Amino acid sequence: MPIISPAAIAFRRCVFIAGALLFTALPAHAYLDPGTGSMILQAVLGTVAVAAASAGMLWRRLLVMFGGKRRNRVDDETAKG
């Protein structure tokens, strides 16, 4: 029989209690007006935009770190002019 640490037991207990609270929620009897839907949509779209921008910046850093060429805007402008 494997020995389970006290931290693992406490974590399992917290997960069980959180799950029990989520699945036994009482009705809120709350009214959601049309403005709430647009606010939720704005929050979701903002989160997607931030995630896309963060992924783009991380991708560029990874390319530079692993030897990808970094284009310099000044060099591009002088080459055109």
Q: How many domains does the chain have?
A: 1
Q: Is residue 64 part of a domain?
A: yes
pLDDT, tens digit, 9 for 90 and up, residues 32-61:
888 988 999 999 999 999 999 999 999 998
Domain span at 20: 6-80
pLDDT, tens digit, 9 for 90 and up, residues 2-32:
788 889 999 999 999 999 988 887 887 888 8
Answer yes or no: pTM beyond 0.75.
no
Q: Is residue 15 part of a domain?
A: yes
Q: Is residue 65 part of a domain?
A: yes
Q: Is residue 23 part of a domain?
A: yes
Q: Is residue 1 part of a domain?
A: no
Q: Is residue 36 part of a domain?
A: yes
Residues 6+ apart with CB under 8 A from 45: none
CA distance 9 to 14: 9
**Using alpha carbons only, how large is the chain's radius of gyration in Å?**
25
